[in-house]
Amino acid sequence: MKVLITGATGLIGQEIVKLCHQSKIDVNYLTTNKDKIKSTSNYQGFYWDPKNYILDENCFLDVEVIINLVGASVAKRWTPSYKEEILESRIISTHVLLESLKKTKHTVRHVISASAIGIYPDSFQNYYMESSPERDIGFLGNVVTKWEETILQFETLGIGVSLLRIGLVLSEKGGAFPKIKKPIQLGVGAVFGNGKHWQSWIHVTDLARMFLYVLEEELTGVFNAVAPNPVSNQKLTNSIANKLNKKIVLPGVPRLIMKLFLGEMHILLFASQRVCSDKISKSGFEFTYGNISSALDSLLP
């Protein structure tokens, strides 16, 4: 079997590529960076430049499933022009894939795309299922809502669509975790605000396994991609500190301070989303890292 992955060179993508190869699935991937193009028997890179509607259509040859992970990082300062890039990198790239498939004879039957729990509004009380109708009306919520709407257009081509609403990905190789860990390791860790906001996290290995599970079981629809036990920011911070034999002595960092430093993107540190993973569990998926303690044991051995 062969899959095409967009964003394969990123944090989640690299983990998925590893699992694909373990399962003897060949990988074609699209990259915007010509230096990242590799060509081996089971890992073949193709260049694309979505902004200019450039895509090498050879990438679709013999591909049955597309795993879509492309997107400019949300963890950079949200200037007006960068906000546009966050949105457009997701929407335009999807349009380019859609338009290319329309004019190519292809074998694609399933698209599995990243989405994000940022689609759900900030709430201390709500427990979000995939069917929850509430939508965040801020910048991030709007981006994710438009992103999902665009991805669903693959259905008009008779292609099944799965959307994985990803939570805070924990990996020692990148993303938020090394940035959360560092100040704690240096003895200057602190919670954000009162630390009571929910953080729905997932270990990167479980996330990659979930993509493969959805692929192999041919599941379509929306799935929350979070571990079964979300924690408060305080619990996450204290758990990391305990594993590192450090103490959290500083008071919570006030929201206003982070807003001054980071601008609008400070929301990422304070948003509270308690998200439920029952749907994927009931489909038979088993988490290796179901609670934060086991995840941290693997990340901070």
Ligand X SMILES: NC(=O)c1ccc[n+]([C@@H]2O[C@H](COP(=O)([O-])OP(=O)(O)OC[C@H]3O[C@@H](n4cnc5c(N)ncnc54)[C@H](OP(=O)(O)O)[C@@H]3O)[C@@H](O)[C@H]2O)c1
**Residues that bind ligand X in the complex, under the rule CB under 6 A:** 7, 9-13, 31-33, 36, 50, 69-73, 85, 89, 93, 114, 116, 166, 168-169, 175-176
Pick between residue 59 and residue 169 the one whose CB is nearest to ligand X: 169
From residue 81, alpha-carbon distances to 77, 122, 170, 275 in Å are: 10, 25, 28, 31
| Nearest distance in Å: CB 11, ligand X | 4
And the tokens for 95?
């349009």
The CA-to-CA distance between both ends of the chain, in Å, stands at: 35
| Nearest distance in Å: CB 199, ligand X | 11
Pick between residue 81 and residue 245 the one whose CB is nearest to ligand X: 81
Whether the CB-CB separation of 189 and 237 falls below 8 Å is answered with yes
And the tokens for 193?
């605000």
| Nearest distance in Å: CB 249, ligand X | 28
Report the Cα 112 to chain-centroid distance in Å: 12
Pick between residue 108 and residue 202 the one whose CB is nearest to ligand X: 202
Pick between residue 93 and residue 205 the one whose CB is nearest to ligand X: 93
* Enclosing H/E stretch for 151: helix 139-151
| Nearest distance in Å: CB 68, ligand X | 8
Give the CB-nearest residue to ligand X.
10
Pick between residue 161 and residue 246 the one whose CB is nearest to ligand X: 161
- Annotate 158-176 with b (16+ C-beta within 10 A) or e (fewer): ebbbbbbbbbbbbbeeebb
- Annotate 131-140 with b (16+ C-beta within 10 A) or e (fewer): ebeeebeebb
Pick between residue 12 and residue 65 the one whose CB is nearest to ligand X: 12
| Nearest distance in Å: CB 127, ligand X | 19
Show Cβ contacts of residue 142 under 8 Å, excluding neighbours closer than 6 positions.
Answer: 87, 136
Which among 243, 274, 117, 232 is positioned nearest to 181, based on CA atoms? 243
How far apart CA 260 and CA 262 sit, in angstroms, is 6
Pick between residue 36 and residue 135 the one whose CB is nearest to ligand X: 36
Whether the CB-CB separation of 15 and 203 falls below 8 Å is answered with no
| Nearest distance in Å: CB 5, ligand X | 10
| Nearest distance in Å: CB 99, ligand X | 16
